[in-house]
């Protein structure tokens, strides 16, 4: 199988021995393909016969996926559209917001005490990044906080239940609210915008969508009804700590893209991004690699991400300790799956090994773009969504209807762009 890049470079791709099963849309089964080249070394390969079914990350690096001109055009279009901060500084009303949450101190303790040993270890507190209200918490930050609110009187670095009970949660909230936070203290320090790729879009945007269809081998209607292209700019000092592109699959969770058509009032909403295709739009002078801290690990344990004060998710400090790093190179695409299979040809559980982040840009500016392919783990909801999208497109596509796709996609994805 050959995948032809826009520069005319033909890279050999071959059928993989299926480390996992992926979406199986009738009538064809969609195996995935990889370029065969030493330059594609990353993560576990499907050409390695030792790859087991679920314990590995699959990711592929494809050089020259975009031409230099295409990269420049995307950056140009993004600038014309205007970029916005990917994350804003925490609001002043932190205390107020926290007081709205009705949860007892005992419940908080139990929630945090992951290993249920009756003590809160530093990493147990750190893992709950939401405590930082958008601020990235480091071990040092936690220690400073303990000192400020006198949380750990015996100074052993862990909070016993007794110590926790003595703690006035309001003091903690007050302390958090009083902290001066810089952009570099946030989970994410970048700017982004969205570029439409549907019918009627710029020919280059259309061409890239078509290319992504060929690369992922997913049904065209799935790719066509996915999110617009996200273009991201990281200036010097920019980063994005390790995260998942997609949310976990719980029965009470709805996917943002299918929520409206499925007419469900689920309490939680998340982006459902089956595949990520990330494009590097420029060469970065210093830093800015994409890191997969635990790619290819044999096992996953949430708490093992933080050891001896080293938080592997921290892309400002610990990128060099990540298992897999991809250096930005203009035109290269990196492609991976965010979910495992459910064993029946559909999306299963979230793949924890797909955890990744953007390393600190030490010099220059980094431009990337993301194409996410949205699939609802609930097959029925995805099918309903597809049908609705087809119906909208059909009813709008009368004579002189202009670009029907834009309206449809915008409607379906309004509100999707929540930050993870």
Binding site for Ca ion (CB under 5 A): 113, 115, 117, 119, 152, 154, 156, 163
Residue with tokens 């949860």, as numbered in its chain: 103
Cα(193)–Cα(218) distance, rounded to whole angstroms?
A: 25
Backbone φ, ψ for residue 342 (5° rounding):
-90, 5
Q: Are 47 and 16 in contact (CB under 8 A)?
A: yes
CB of 163 or CB of 227, closer to Ca ion: 163
Q: Which residue in 360, 185, 231 sits closest to 284, CA to CA?
A: 360
CB of 113 or CB of 296, closer to Ca ion: 113
Cα(255)–Cα(225) distance, rounded to whole angstroms?
A: 14
Q: How far is the CB of 171 from Ca ion (least distance, A)?
A: 16
Q: How far is the CB of 155 from Ca ion (least distance, A)?
A: 7
Q: How far is the CB of 217 from Ca ion (least distance, A)?
A: 44
What spatial distance separates the first Cα and last Cα of the chain, rounded to whole Å? 36
Q: How far is the CB of 127 from Ca ion (least distance, A)?
A: 11
Q: How far is the CB of 111 from Ca ion (least distance, A)?
A: 11
Q: How far is the CB of 372 from Ca ion (least distance, A)?
A: 35
CB of 151 or CB of 350, closer to Ca ion: 151
Angstrom CA distances, 379 to 276, 387, 399, stand at 19, 12, 33
CB of 167 or CB of 295, closer to Ca ion: 167
Query: Beta strand 290-292 with 286-287: parallel, antiparallel or unpaired?
Result: unpaired
CB of 119 or CB of 179, closer to Ca ion: 119
Q: Are 224 and 274 in contact (CB under 8 A)?
A: no
Cα(307)–Cα(312) distance, rounded to whole angstroms?
A: 8
CB of 113 or CB of 376, closer to Ca ion: 113
């Amino acid at each position: 199988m050959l995948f032809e890049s826009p520069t005319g470079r033909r890279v050999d791709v071959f059928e993989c021995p299926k480390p996992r099963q992926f979406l199986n849309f009738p009538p064809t089964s969609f195996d995935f393909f990889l370029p065969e080249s030493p330059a594609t070394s990353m993560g576990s390969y499907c050409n390695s016969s030792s790859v087991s079914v679920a314990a590995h990350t699959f990711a592929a690096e494809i050089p020259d996926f975009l031409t230099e001109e295409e990269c420049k055009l995307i950056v140009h279009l993004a600038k014309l559209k205007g970029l916005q901060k990917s994350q804003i500084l925490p609001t002043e009303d932190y205390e107020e917001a926290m007081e709205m949450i009705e949860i007892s101190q005992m419940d908080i303790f139990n929630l945090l005490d992951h290993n249920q040993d009756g003590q809160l270890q530093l990493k147990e507190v750190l893992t709950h990044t939401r405590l930082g209200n958008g601020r990235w918490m480091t071990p040092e930050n936690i220690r400073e906080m303990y000192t400020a609110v006198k949380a750990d009187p015996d100074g052993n670095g862990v909070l016993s239940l007794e110590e926790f009970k003595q703690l006035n949660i309001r003091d903690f909230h007050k302390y958090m609210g009083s902290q001066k936070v810089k952009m570099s203290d946030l989970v994410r320090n970048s700017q982004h915008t969205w570029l439409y790729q549907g019918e009627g879009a710029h020919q280059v945007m259309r061409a890239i969508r078509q290319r992504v269809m060929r690369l992922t081998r997913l049904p065209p209607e799935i790719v066509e009804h996915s999110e617009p292209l996200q273009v991201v700019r990281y200036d010097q000092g920019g980063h994005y700590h390790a995260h998942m592109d997609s949310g976990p699959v719980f029965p009470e969770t709805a996917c943002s893209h299918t929520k409206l058509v499925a007419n469900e009032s689920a309490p939680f909403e998340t982006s459902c991004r089956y595949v990520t295709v990330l494009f590097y739009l420029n060469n970065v002078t210093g830093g800015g690699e994409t890191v997969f801290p635990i790619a290819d690990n044999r096992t996953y344990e949430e708490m093992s991400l933080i050891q001896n004060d080293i938080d592997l998710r921290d892309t400002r400090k610990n990128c060099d300790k990540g298992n897999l790093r991809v250096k930005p190179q203009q035109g290269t695409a990196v492609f991976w799956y965010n979910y495992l299979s459910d064993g029946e040809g559909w999306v299963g559980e979230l793949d924890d090994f797909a955890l990744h982040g953007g390393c600190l840009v030490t010099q220059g500016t980094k431009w990337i773009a993301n194409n996410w392919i949205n699939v609802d783990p609930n097959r029925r909801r995805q099918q309903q969504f597809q049908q609705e999208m087809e119906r909208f497109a059909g009813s709008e596509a009368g004579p002189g209807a202009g670009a029907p796709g834009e309206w449809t996609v915008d409607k379906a994805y309004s509100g999707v762009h929540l930050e993870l």
